[in-house]
Amino acid sequence: MRNQELKNEKFKRLATKRTNDVLNKIRILSNCANKSTYAYAPEEVNKIFNIIDKATKIARAKFGSSKSKEFKL
């Protein structure tokens, strides 16, 4: 039981730090929205957030079930 607690404590410690790192990077990225400093097209913004959304979906899927889903037609 203690080993499981250690693993959970490690998860919480690392996940908290890494989540805060990601949130900080997103905050820094949002500084690029300042139109008085930067020029950008809506397509460029969409490209940025599409890849962020894709990476988030991939990461979320890794936390899901490890069972492979059977294909049905």
- Rounded mean pLDDT of 40-68? 93
How many percent of the chain have pLDDT more than 70?
A: 95
Domain ranges of the chain: 2-61
Checking if the pLDDT of 67 tops 80, the result is no
The predicted-structure confidence for 19-32, as pLDDT tens digits, reads as follows: 999 999 999 999 99
Q: What is the pLDDT of residue 57?
A: 97
Contacts made by residues 23-30, CB under 8 angstroms, sequence distance 24+: 26/52
CB 40 within 8 A of CB 32: yes
CB 29 within 8 A of CB 48: yes
Better pLDDT: 72 or 49: 49
Alpha-helical runs (H) found in 1-73: 2-30, 42-62
